[in-house]
């Protein structure tokens, strides 16, 4: 139903004044806080004369000092710890090492072995097919290398690393991985106790992150160094 219209006030009709608000009574003033009772000043601690503690300690016997301060008694010297023995790696005994007589490197085997013994770094140059890749690791094995640590042999490509490892293992008359193995990406044929490790130069470079001084190797042979790749330069 529609609402009834409001009655309009007559024009000029006086409005009733609003009643004034009742004034609130003023709040009573707060009582002043009582002052805190003054506390008596603390008595100063008696200062110890310098040297009195030392003089007191001199009068006590050593037994009394040890009973009063047991933590300051001198400890008995302990014997030095024995050095931890180095971890031994047992290498697989090597078979008889032979060298093909038709290879030029085999004819200069004594000269190369002497240069290895007298120098830390040597450079062997020769024609392709002279036997540098397959005979240099065997010369190092004949000198006693590869017993305390591995003989590392790098190749620029994975196929070269695997084929060289198979060839050297065949010349030694041992299965692949027993004395000679290779490690490339996703493949590792090296067994525990092996002496020669063929790998790509990228594998050796990655190992320097965990072994910066390459302590796992006593000899490193870098093949095809004349290619001057970034890995070889590093």
List Cβ neighbours of 190 (8 Å cut-off, separation of 6 or more): 177, 181, 182, 183, 197
What pLDDT shows up at residue 174? 92
Instruction: Name the pLDDT band for 91 (thresholds 50, 70, 90).
Output: confident
Q: With beta carbons less than 8 A apart as the criterion, state whether 195 and 92 touch.
A: yes
Highest mean pLDDT among 5-9, 12-16, 48-52, 102-106 belongs to 102-106
The domain ranges of the chain are 104-233
Tell me what pLDDT residue 161 has. 92
Task: Give the confidence band of 223 by pLDDT, cuts at 50, 70, 90.
Answer: confident
Query: Is residue 36 packed enough to be buried (19+ CB in 10 Å), middle (13-18) or exposed (0-12)?
Result: exposed
Q: Are the C-beta atoms of residues 121 and 183 closer than 8 Å to each other?
A: no
Mean pLDDT over residues 82-90, rounded?
55
CA end-to-end span of the chain: 99
Average pLDDT over the chain, rounded to whole? Answer: 78
Pairing of strands 187-188, 150-155: unpaired
DSSP state of 135: H
Q: What is the mean pLDDT of residues 1-9?
A: 56
For 136, the token pair is 């240099």
Q: Element (H or E) spanning 218, and its range?
A: strand 217-222
pLDDT at 62: 54
Superfamily the domain 104-233 falls into: P-loop containing nucleotide triphosphate hydrolases (3.40.50.300)
Q: What 3-state class would DSSP assign to 7?
A: coil
As a whole-number percent, the residues of the chain with pLDDT over 90 amount to: 35
Measured between alpha carbons, how far is 198 from 163 in angstroms, rounded to an integer? 9
Whether the CB-CB separation of 196 and 141 falls below 8 Å is answered with yes
pLDDT of residue 171: 93
* Residues 184 and 176 sit within 8 Å (Cβ to Cβ): no
Position 72 scores a pLDDT of: 60
Name the least confident of 80-84, 97-101, 203-207.
80-84
pLDDT surpasses 80 at 76: no
CA distance 47 to 53: 12
- Sign of the CA dihedral 7, 12, 13, 18? positive
CA distances from 57 to 54, 65, 143 (A): 5, 7, 70
Contact 221, 154 (CB under 8 A): yes
For residue 169, pLDDT over 70 is answered with yes
Which stretch of DSSP H or E encloses residue 187? strand 187-188
The least confident of 6-20, 137-151, 162-176, 215-229 is: 6-20
The gap from C-alpha 4 to its chain's centroid, in whole angstroms, comes to: 92
């Amino acid at each position: 139903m529609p609402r009834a219209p409001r009655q309009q006030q007559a024009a000029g009709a006086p409005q009733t004044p609003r009643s004034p608000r009742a004034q609130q009574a003023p709040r009573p003033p707060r009582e002043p806080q009582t002052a805190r009772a003054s506390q008596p000043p603390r008595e100063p601690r008696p200062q110890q004369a310098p040297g009195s503690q030392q003089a007191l300690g001199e009068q006590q016997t050593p037994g009394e000092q040890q009973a009063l301060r047991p933590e300051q008694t001198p400890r008995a010297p302990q014997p030095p710890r024995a050095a931890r023995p180095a971890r031994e790696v047992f290498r697989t005994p090597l078979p008889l090492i032979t060298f093909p007589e038709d290879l030029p490197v085999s004819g200069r085997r004594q000269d190369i072995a002497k240069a290895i013994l007298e120098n830390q770094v040597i450079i062997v140059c020769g024609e392709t097919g002279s036997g540098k890749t397959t005979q240099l690791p065997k010369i190092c094995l004949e000198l006693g290398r590869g017993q305390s640590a591995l003989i590392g042999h790098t190749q620029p490509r994975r196929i070269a690393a695997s084929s060289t490892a198979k060839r050297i293992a065949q010349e030694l008359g041992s299965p692949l991985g027993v004395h000679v193995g290779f490690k490339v990406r996703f493949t590792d044929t090296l067994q525990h106790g092996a002496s020669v490790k063929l790998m790509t130069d990228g594998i050796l470079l990655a190992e320097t992150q965990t072994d910066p001084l390459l302590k796992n190797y006593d000899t490193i042979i870098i093949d095809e160094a004349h290619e001057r790749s970034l890995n070889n330069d590093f």
